[in-house]
Structure 1
Amino acid sequence: MAVRRFVRGRIEWPRLEAVCREFAARYDESVVRVEFLDGDNWLSTPCVVDERWFVKVITPQNALVHALFTAGRNLGVFSSGTEGFFERFDSPVEMAEHELDATRRIRAVGVNAPEPIEAFAHEELGVLVLEYLPDFRTLADLTQTETATFAPTLFASLGRLHGAGFGHGDLRAENVLVADGELYFIDATSVRADAIADARSYDLACALAALEPAIGARAAVDAAVGRYTIEELLAAREFIGFVDMRPDHDFDAALLRGEIEKRAA
């Protein structure tokens, strides 16, 4: 248990209080309430401040774990016959700055994401501040009917991101939010610019994998065909095996791969 706490980079309360004081000073605000979010968070300590801001506090241990995850993902990508395309960060503040920039890019191309506020360093910690979306649900929280309704929007948003030359890199049900009837992307990771084509195919495979358990392989592919070509779906098929190995995806890879192949026949 002590090793798990170390690897997760759990922050002692006095240090978190110091971050909150710094946050309040930067915004000339009196912080009244800080709510820490439940979950198995390996890459940050997330919290909601005064129900207005979503704040991630990132430790050096979080940055180390991210580097290990990145190395593992790049090794996994080799199983799809391509070179790894995930990039690592050297420090907690670099992680925070990347997510801030990624959120800005997502919004700049017309895709919904929480409003980015700022990223800053506090001692050895990285701190990211975003708009807080109250009453949100993740894609995994939706009913089957709701998921089917939002599936075309998911691919339209992803296609817009790809059309602008970007990749998400960590598209899964937990990173797609629905609030006030709108779909939002969060937690984009860093992918190499010279491997963006592979990163897009991987994104598409992840989106299909996120939808398949809720609406089935056929409906997921139907929704994707509205935005992506058969050639793009076949390229995504090559990453389905790697996505299936990831513990944060649980879907029927054989059914999904077979449905893509039926469309291509």
Structure 2
Amino acid sequence: MAFRRLLKGNIEWERLEGVMVEVARRYGREEARVEFLDADNWLSTPCVVEDRWFVKVISRQHSLLHAILTTGRNLGAFSSGQEGFFEHVGDPVEMAELELDATRRMRELGVNVPEPIEAFEHDGLGVLVVEYLPEFRTFDGLDAADVIRYAPDLFESLAHIHDAGLAHGDLRAENVLVAHGRLYLIDATSVREGAIEQARAYDVACALAALAPLVGGRAAVDAAREHYPMDVLLAARDFLDFVNMRPDHDFDAANVKGEIEKDASSDA
């Protein structure tokens, strides 16, 4: 447990308190009500301020862990016969700025994301502020019927950002929210410029991996096919074993690959 706490980069209370005072000042509050989230988040310390703003506080240790994970993901891409396409991030402020920029760009494309507000530096920490979505549910908190209902929306959102040369890069059930009857994407990461082909296939593989345990491989592939041609699904198939090695995905990769290959044979 001590090793896990070390990796997760706990931030001293005095520094966190300083960030909250700065957030309150920026939004015209003498003081602010803050709720730190009991989330298994390795790359930031998240909290909700005044039930209006979702704030991520990023330390040097968080950015260091991000670099380690990025290296591992790029090695995984190599093992799948692809060039590494995840982008390294230099420091906590850059992490916050890149996620803010990715969120802004997705919003400009008409993809549902929390409203991006700002990113700034305070006491050597990176701070990201976006809209807080109350009463949301994550994809893995929905029943199967609702997952099937929203699954095509997930692939439609991904197709929009992919068509614009962007990618999510860290898609999993916890990063897909449903609020106010709409699907939202959160926690986009950075991928290398010019690597959209590989990043698109990886995103689709991650979406299939998130859906398959909830509704089965057949329904997941059917939803993907509403917005992606077979060549993209075949490219995604090549990433499925790598995605299945990630601790945040647990699905029957062989079943999903079999469903893709079944469709590819029938299309031939």
Band of TM-score, shorter chain: over 0.9
Aligned counterpart, 1:41: 41
Matches within 5 A, 1:33-182: 33-182=33-182
Hey, what's the Cα distance between the residues in 2 that align with 1:20 and 1:95?
A: 19
Hey, what's the Cα distance between the residues in 2 that align with 1:244 and 1:41?
A: 19
Is 1:264 equivalent to 2:243 in the alignment? Answer: no
Number of equivalences: 265
Hey, what's the Cα distance between the residues in 1 that align with 2:75 and 2:259?
A: 27
Hey, what's the Cα distance between the residues in 2 that align with 1:156 and 1:2?
A: 42
CA offset at residue 7 of structure 1? 2.2
* AA of the residue aligned to 2:138: T
Aligned counterpart, 1:227: 227
CA offset at residue 6 of structure 1? 2.7
* AA of the residue aligned to 1:240: L
TM-score of the pair, normalised by structure 2: 0.97
CA offset at residue 2 of structure 1? 3.7
Hey, what's the Cα distance between the residues in 2 that align with 1:194 and 1:159?
A: 17
Deviation >2 Å, runs of 4+: 1-7
CA offset at residue 79 of structure 1? 1.5
- Secondary structure of 1:184 counterpart: strand
The gaps in structure 1 that reach 5 residues or longer are none
* AA of the residue aligned to 1:69: L
* AA of the residue aligned to 2:143: T
* AA of the residue aligned to 1:87: E
The gaps in structure 2 that reach 5 residues or longer are none
CA offset at residue 31 of structure 1? 3.1
1:10-64 deviation per Cα after TM superposition (whole angstroms, max 9, x unaligned) = 1122211111111112222133311011122210000000101000000000000
Hey, what's the Cα distance between the residues in 1 that align with 2:248 and 2:5?
A: 20
* AA of the residue aligned to 1:237: R
| Contact kept in structure 2, 1:31 and 1:50, CA below 8 Å | no
| Contact kept in structure 2, 1:31 and 1:49, CA below 8 Å | no
Q: Give identity over the alignment, percent.
A: 66
* AA of the residue aligned to 2:254: A
1:175-208 deviation per Cα after TM superposition (whole angstroms, max 9, x unaligned) = 1010011000001110011211100000011111
TM-score of the pair, normalised by structure 1: 0.98
- Secondary structure of 1:193 counterpart: coil
Hey, what's the Cα distance between the residues in 1 that align with 2:204 and 2:51?
A: 33
| Contact kept in structure 2, 1:24 and 1:31, CA below 8 Å | yes
| Alpha-carbon RMSD | 0.9
* AA of the residue aligned to 1:214: L
Hey, what's the Cα distance between the residues in 2 that align with 1:58 and 1:80?
A: 31
